Structure 1
Amino acid sequence: MSIDEVAVARPGRSVDRSPTLVAGGVLGVVAALVTVQLLASAQGFQGPLESLVRDYVLTPKSASVPWAGLALAMVGLTSRQRIVALSAAAGIDVSVAAVRYAAGGPLTVGNGATWVLTAVGVYAAVRWTGEQRRSALKGVALGALLILATKFGDAWLQITIMAGPMVLDEYAQLADHALGNPSWHMGQLVDALGSVGYGVLHWVYIELPVAAIAVAIYQLRHGWPTHYLVRTFLMIGLVGPIFYLLFPVVGPIFAFGTDGEGFQAGNYWPNLVPTPDFTPAPMAFDEVTPRNCMPSLHTAWALALFIHSRGGTWWLRLGGTFWLVCTLTATLGFGYHYGVDLVAGAVLCLTIESALRDPERGWGWFRIRLVGGGTIALVVLLLSYRYLAVPMGRFPEVSGPIVIGVLAAVILGFYATFFAREDSALHRWGTVGSRPAVTAALEAPAR
C-alpha cells in the first residue's frame, strides 16, 4: 500500500484546509482593496473599489477585461449555462451602451459582463450544490480575481508615483549600454513599420489579457488541471509591482524623449543614442507618469503565455510565439522599457513559473535550486543596474555577455527541469502522439 493509500485509509488523519485558505484569501483581497481605496481617496486618485463601481453603473474603465473575466468564469459552467450567461451579458451590454451613447457618453461595453459574472457567482452559491457549485464558484473566483487585479494594478501605478518622486532612468540607460541600447534600435524599426505595423503592435500590447484568457480556456477546456496560466499571471501581477517601489523607472520615451514634458534628460529617443554619462544620478520627474518599468511585467506575462502555449495545438503555439515576439518588440519599440528591464522581467517570470509548475512533483531540490537561483539572479541584476551601472556602461563587451549569460542560465535550468524530458519523448516517439498526449503520459507516473 502506498503512502497516499495509507492516508486515505486512515480517516481523520488529514484535514481539508481548503475552506480556511479560501476564506483567508478572500479576506486578504478585501483588506488590500479597502486599504488601497482609502489611500486613493485620501490622495485624490481613483481607487480599485471606485473603479469597480463604475464597471457596474457607469462607464467601465476597460471594455475587454470584464469580458475576459466572464470568459474565464465560463469554464466552470455547462454548455447550456454558457450560452445563457453570454447571451444575457451581450444583451445587457448592447442595451446599456445604446443608452449611454444616446446620452452623449462613449460607445463602449463591459457592464453586462460584470453584472452577469456577479449573478453567476451569487446564483451558484445560493442555488447549486456539490461539484456543480464548486466548479462554477472556482471559475467565477478566477474571473473576478482577473478583474480585481487590474483595478488594484491601476491604483498601484499611482502609488509608484507617490513613492518615487525621483527616478533611476540614468542608471538603467547606462546599464543598457551593455546590451547595445535595444530600445533605440527597436524604436527606429517601429517607426519604419508605419501606422499599420504600429497598430498591430499596439493592439497586441494592450490586449495581452485577452490572449492569456484564450490560452487559459484551452488549458481548462476539460476541467481543472493542477497548474494553468492564470495562476502564473496573477502571481506575476502580485509580486512584480513590488519592485517598482524599489527601482522607480519611467522608460526611455519619457526620460530621454519628448514625452517627458520638460522633465527628460534630453530629446534623444529613438533617433540618437545619448553619449554615456558616467556620473548618473536620480532624476526628479512628474506626478503623472508611473514608475513601472523595472522589471518589465509585459515581458514576464508574454513569456508565461508563450510557455503555457507550448502544450497546445500548433495554432496555439504559433499564437503564443506571435504574442511574445510582438510584445517584446512593442515594449522596446514604443520606448516603454530598456533592454535590462526585459531581462529582469524574463527572470522574474521563470522564477515564479518554477515555483508553481508541476505541483504534484513537490518541493525537491530541483525546484529549490530553480526558485532560489532565479531569485538570486533577479536581485543581482537589479543591484547591478543600480550600483554597477558605471562599469557596465564602460565595459559593455564584458558586462553584456554576463547579463545575457545570467538569463541564459535561468532559461537552461528551467528548460532542463520541465521541458527536456517531454521534448526528448516527442523526438523519440515522432508523430505517434501529440504534445499534450506525451505530456500526460510523462506526468502520469508522478500522479
Structure 2
Amino acid sequence: MAGVAALGFHIALEIAARRYGLPGPLAGEAREVVFAPKSGFLLYAGMALMMVVLTWRQRFIALGAAIGIDVVFFVVRWAADVKVAHGHPFGNGALWVMLGCAVIAVTRRTGRERVLLLKGVGLGLLLVAGRKTGDTWLLITSKTRPEVLDQYMATADHALGDPSWLLGRIVTATGPIGFNFLDIVYGQLAVAAVVVALYQLRHVAVERRFPGHHLVRTFLVIGLLGPAIYMIFPVVGPVFAYGTGAEHWSAVSLWSHTPSSEYWAVADLWPGTPPPVKAPHHMPFDEITPRNCMPSLHTAWATAIFIHSRQGPRVLRYAGTFWLIATLTATLGFGYHYGVDLIAGVVFTLTIEAALRSLDRGWDRAGIRLVAYGATVFAALLVSYRFLPWEMAKHPWLSGPLLVLTLASVVYGYVRTTGEWEPRPAPARQPEPQPELI
C-alpha cells in the first residue's frame, strides 16, 4: 500500500511539473540511469542504506560493481567528449546496483529474503526519490504562490533581535573559508543522516529485519509534510526578500541561471541593515525562487539527526551536535531563514518524532498529549507570525522570551515523555546465520 501511495504521489508531481514545461521526479530519476546525476554522493549514500541488508562479501561486490560501472561511464563520456556541466561524473553505478538488486530480489529470491532485499532497495531509492520530489515541490511553490509573507516574518523576527542579520555579518566577516566550510555542512545534510541511519541499521543483515523506528522514517515524513506548509505559508528568506541573494543559492540553478531576486527584493538590506519596523504586507515575488522557509526543513532534519545520534557512541553524539550547530549557523548566516523559521522547524520535528515513536511503540496518554501539544504550538506559531508580527516587534522584551520559552516547553515535554535523550548501553546480540541474497 505504501509503495502504491508513493508511486501515485510521484505521478501527481510529474503531471504538475509537466504543466509548467519542466521534468518532474520520475523523469529526473530515469534520466540519471544514463546521464550525469545531480548528486553522486546522494546516490552512493542511498546504495549504502540498501547495503545494510547484505553480508559483508555482498557489500564489497556491490561497491566494486558500482565503481566499475562509474569508471565505464567516465571513459565513455571522455571518449565521446561529453561535458558534465550541471552534474557529477559519478553516481550512475550506485543507481545501477540498486536497480540490479531489485531485479535479483524479484527473479532469484523468495519469501522473507525477497521482502528484505526489496525493503533495502526501497530504502536506498527513497532517499534519491525524496530529493527529486523535493525539487519538484520547490518548483510548484514558486509557480503557484506569486505573493510571499517575508515582511511578516522579518517583522516577527525583531522579537528575536534579527538573528539572520547578525549571523550574516559574522559569516561574511569569516571570508570564503568560513562560508565554504558551512556550505559543505549545509549541502551534505543527507550524507550526515545516512551515517546516523547506518549506525541504527547496522544489525539488519544479522537480524533479518528492520527496527520499528529509525532516522530515515523521520526524514521522509519531514520531507513529505514540510512542503505542504510551504504552500500555506510562502516565504523566500531574507537574502532574497531583503538582498540580492540569487547568486548565493545554488538551488536556484534548478530552473534558472539568471539572478532575479534582486529585482523583486524590498531593498538591498541584508545583512548590513535590519529592516525597519513597520506594518507588514504581502509582497509579489518572482516565479523562480522557492517559497521554502516556513518551517526551516534544514533545521528540522538537523534536529532529527541530533535526536537519533543521542543513542550512538560518543563520536556520533558529538557529530550530531556539531551538525546541528553548524546547520543552524548556516541557515541564518547565509540568509536562507529567519530566526522564527528555526523555532518552528524544531517544534515541527519534535512533534513528528513523538508521533512516529508512539506509532511504533503504542499510543499512550503521554504520547498523545505530547503530539497534540506540539501540533498546537506549531499552529499557534504560524498564526502569531501571520497575524501578530506587528505586536511582537513592538514588544520584543515580552514576545522574544515567550517564543524561546514556548520552544523550551516542547523540548522539555519531548525529553520527559520519551526518556531517550541520554545514551543507553546496547543489548547483547547473538549473530545468526546469514543466507546469501545475491
Please, what TM-score do these two structures have when normalized by structure 2? 0.90
Aligned pair partner of 2:201 in 217, 220, 224? 220
Q: CA separation in 2, counterparts of 1:214 and 1:188?
A: 32
Q: CA separation in 2, counterparts of 1:333 and 1:346?
A: 18
Q: 1:411: which partner in 2?
A: 411
Q: CA separation in 2, counterparts of 1:403 and 1:345?
A: 13
Matched, 1:436 2:425: yes
Q: CA separation in 2, counterparts of 1:87 and 1:34?
A: 33
Q: 1:133: which partner in 2?
A: 114
Q: 1:394: which partner in 2?
A: 394
What is the CA deviation profile of residues 299-358 of structure 1, one whole-angstrom value per residue up to 9, with x for unaligned ones?
000000000001001111111011101100000000000000000000000000001126
Cα displacement (A) at 1:262: 1.2
Q: How does 1:105-254 map to 2 (within 5 A)?
A: 105-106=83-84, 108-223=89-204, 224-254=210-240
Q: 2:344: which partner in 1?
A: 344
What is the CA deviation profile of residues 63-98 of structure 1, one whole-angstrom value per residue up to 9, with x for unaligned ones?
122111111000011111111111101111122123
Q: 1:49: which partner in 2?
A: 26
Q: 1:96: which partner in 2?
A: 73
SS in 2 for 1:56: coil
Q: CA separation in 2, counterparts of 1:377 and 1:182?
A: 22
One-letter identity of the residue aligned with 1:365: R
Q: CA separation in 2, counterparts of 1:390 and 1:212?
A: 38
Q: CA separation in 2, counterparts of 1:323 and 1:340?
A: 20
One-letter identity of the residue aligned with 1:264: A
Q: Which has the higher contact order (CA 8 A, sep 6+)?
A: 2
Q: CA separation in 2, counterparts of 1:97 and 1:366?
A: 55
1:439–1:359 distance in 2 versus 1, CA, 3 Å:
farther
Q: How does 1:5-20 map to 2 (within 5 A)?
A: none
Comparing 99-108 with 123-132, which one deviates more in the overlay? 99-108
SS in 1 for 2:337: coil
Across the aligned residues of Structure 1 and Structure 2, the Cα RMSD in angstroms comes to: 1.6
Quick one: percent identity of the two aligned structures?
Answer: 51
Q: 2:258: which partner in 1?
A: none
SS in 1 for 2:32: helix
Contact 2:193 2:305 in 1 (8 A): yes
One-letter identity of the residue aligned with 1:202: D
Q: CA separation in 2, counterparts of 1:406 and 1:389?
A: 16
Q: CA separation in 2, counterparts of 1:99 and 1:180?
A: 55
SS in 1 for 2:349: helix
Q: CA separation in 2, counterparts of 1:363 and 1:383?
A: 28
Cα displacement (A) at 1:439: 12
Contact 2:358 2:364 in 1 (8 A): no
Runs of 4+ with >3 A deviation: 358-361
Aligned pair count reads: 405
What is the CA deviation profile of residues 256-297 of structure 1, one whole-angstrom value per residue up to 9, with x for unaligned ones?
0122221001111011112112x2111110111000000000
One-letter identity of the residue aligned with 1:298: H
Matched, 1:299 2:299: yes
Contact 1:226 1:358 in 2 (8 A): no
Matched, 1:368 2:368: yes
Contact 1:312 1:436 in 2 (8 A): no
Q: 1:268: which partner in 2?
A: 269
Q: CA separation in 2, counterparts of 1:354 and 1:112?
A: 37
Q: How does 1:17-56 map to 2 (within 5 A)?
A: 24-56=1-33
What is the CA deviation profile of residues 201-222 of structure 1, one whole-angstrom value per residue up to 9, with x for unaligned ones?
1011010000100100011101
Cα displacement (A) at 1:130: 3.5
One-letter identity of the residue aligned with 1:105: K
What is the CA deviation profile of residues 114-155 of structure 1, one whole-angstrom value per residue up to 9, with x for unaligned ones?
111011011012212343322211111111111111111100
Contact 1:66 1:113 in 2 (8 A): yes
1:291–1:101 distance in 2 versus 1, CA, 3 Å:
farther
One-letter identity of the residue aligned with 1:362: G
Q: CA separation in 2, counterparts of 1:137 and 1:242?
A: 29
